[in-house]
Structure 1
């Protein structure tokens, strides 16, 4: 029996087209407060999964949700004033 092997290049992970562009990195940087707020909300929800949520857990989740909403609002207000290329004039 002969082994089955691929005939493609072994590694393509270092191709230049696979790296994020500067525009993509800038977009991630602008969304970073929202990403961190979402992570905080998920952390608060995970803590409450193992046990019956008490008042402290409910408060932690409520505050994390408020931070997510605030970050979303700030991101929406920040991007509402910018125009994207290719839009109608």
Structure 2
């Protein structure tokens, strides 16, 4: 049996995976409060998937949504301030 392989060169050169750049890591650091708030919201939503939310669950969901909204607001204000040069 003969192996079946492509006889053409690759269209794009294989780039070694060097990991994220410094700029990408900075962007992740800026977005980390929002990411953590969204994880908390997702956790609160998962706990209520298989049952009717009680009063404590409802408060936890509300607080998690508020944290997500506050983190989004802060990230937007920080990003807007950086673009305008005000920060």
TM, length-normalised to structure 2: 0.77
Runs (5+) with no aligned partner, structure 2: 8-14
Which stretches of structure 1, 4 residues or longer, exceed 3 Å deviation after superposition? 1-7
**Secondary structure in 2 matching 1:49:** coil
Q: Could you tell me which residue of structure 1 aligns to residue 16 of structure 2? A: 15
Q: Could you tell me which residue of structure 1 aligns to residue 44 of structure 2? A: 44
Runs (5+) with no aligned partner, structure 1: 8-13, 85-89
Q: Could you tell me which residue of structure 1 aligns to residue 27 of structure 2? A: 27
**How many positions carry a matched residue from both structures?**
79
TM, length-normalised to structure 1: 0.75
Q: RMSD over aligned Cα, in angstroms?
A: 2.5
